[in-house]
Amino acid sequence: MNILNYTEEHNRFRARLREFLAKEVTPHVDQWEKDHIVPKEIWRKMGEAGFLCTATPKEYGGHGLDFLYSVIVSEEVARTHHSGLSVSLHSDIVVPYIESFGTEEQKKKYLPGCVSGEIITSVAMTEPGTGSDLSSMITTAVEEGDSIVLNGAKTFISNGINTNLCVVAAKDPAVADPHKSISLYIVEGGTPGFKSGRHLEKMGFHSQDTAELFFSNCRIPKENLLGMKGGGFIILMQKLQQERLVCAMGAVASAELLMEYLIDYCKNTKVNGKPLSKNQATQFALVEMMTEVKLGRAFTDKLIAEHIEKHNVVVEVSMAKYWTTDMVKKLVDRAIDLVGMPAMLEEYRLARAFRDVRILSIFAGTNEIMKIIASRFMGL
């Protein structure tokens, strides 16, 4: 039984996207991994083909499609086995801030470019000394006449090099309560005083351009405040459910892809004259791994269905984010032992997978923070 009601139209969209990715993305992934960035051109091609911001309303140049299209994009991009084309971050995490909290002028000005891929978004919360505890951020936003002046540094920012629209969290130093002092601001690429710093070299996610960002007397118009002044925390909280659900969806899709690869490998690789898949120990391992993937799929699909029906499932989504990302980490680790030495080679799939999935438990809220959220709601 399928919990999610995919229609023929959804299925056709998935097939078209899979074909597009096979032609425009997969052949280039190895090069992008070496370059540590994807070309901006691929964003425009994705936009042109209708695969960016599928949920954005038609009146702002979008496609006005339901969340299942976002699920399809997230799953199919995960199947391309790289992290650089961070479509879900753009379409399902950053752009929804503008859609939900932007003024009419902001939506008209920015959303069409987000849909076409001319605009590549990023969100800058983390600072050199501030990760999970956002209340201790020190980047400031001070009003001066018709402007807001930003000063500070951000780090670990995905799309930090390619971005030309950054949603920045900054604090009003005049407001003592940290939960009321943080606001979000839209900063356009090329604004004087806003620049990218180091392109950070990471253990995994090689094709994703993760960078430092600096704001030095960066003056933006007052109209670039996103949402209510001092409402930064509330905005971030309201969008956490979708953000973390997207992480769980990516983890399950990666796990499924890995299982396809692993089963194929075990069936087609002989050890002591017989396929690996004929060893009972290997069979048991594959069955156990597949069971976990199916548990992850069932849990995540249930949450997707509830999210579409606008239920508050933030606690279960926190559980799913930590469980599915831990699950795929364990899965790759075990897969490497099953495959043996070839798993160490870059030409096989597992080396990159091992590096990439390691990151999933850290970003979008660490898995420890997920458990803190869940324990609070469980009344512990």
3-state class of 146 per DSSP?
coil
CB of 89 to ligand FAD, least distance (A): 7
Is 370 an interacting residue with respect to ligand FAD (CB under 6 A)?
no
Looking at residues 115 to 144 of the shown chain, list those that interact with ligand FAD (rule: CB under 6 A).
122-126, 131-132
Q: How far is the CB of 340 from ligand FAD (least distance, A)?
A: 29
Tokens of 116: 């076409």
Binder among 110, 156, 194, 323 for ligand FAD (CB under 6 A): 156
Question: Measured from the CB of residue 131, what is the shortest distance to ligand FAD in angstroms?
Answer: 2
Token match 């605009």: residue? 119
Whichever of 278 and 371 has its CB closer to ligand FAD, that residue is: 371
Using CB under 6 A, which of the segments 72-80, 287-295, 312-320, 363-371 binds ligand FAD?
Answer: 363-371
Cα-based distances in Å from 108 to 89, 114, 190, 222: 20, 11, 20, 17
Per-residue x/- marks for ligand FAD, 158-187, CB under 6 A?
x-----------------------------
Output the smallest distance, CB 102 to ligand FAD, in A: 19
**Contact residue for ligand FAD among 150, 157, 170, 248 (CB under 6 A):** 157
Residue located via tokens 């479509």: 87
CB-count burial class (<10 Å; 0-12, 13-18, 19+) for 247: buried
What beta strand segments (E) does 46-181 contain? 121-124, 140-144, 147-158, 165-171
3 state SS for 271-294: ECCEEHHHCHHHHHHHHHHHHHHH
**Site residues for ligand FAD, window 9-38 (CB under 6 A)?**
none
DSSP SS3 for 118 = coil
197 lies in the binding site for ligand FAD (CB under 6 A) = no
Considering the rule CB under 6 A, would residue 355 count as an interface residue with ligand FAD?
A: no
Closest distance of CB 19 from ligand FAD, Å = 29
Q: Which residues pair with 218 in a beta bridge?
A: 150
Single residue of 91, 210, 242, 300 touching ligand FAD by CB under 6 A: 210
- Three-state SS for 343? helix
Check 75, 212, 243, 292 and give the catalytic one: 243
Does 199 sit near ligand FAD (CB under 6 A)? no
The alpha carbon of 123 is separated from its chain's Cα centroid by a whole number of angstroms, namely 11
Residue type for position 91: S
Are 20 and 12 contacting, i.e. CB atoms less than 8 angstroms apart?
no
Residue 243 is among the residues annotated as catalytic for this protein: yes
| Closest distance to ligand FAD from the beta carbon of 219 (Å) | 22
The separation between CA 222 and the C-alpha centre of its own chain, rounded to angstroms, equals 29
Residues near ligand FAD, by CB under 6 A: 122-126, 131-132, 156-158, 205, 210, 359, 362-363, 366, 368-369, 372
Write out the catalytic residue numbers: 243
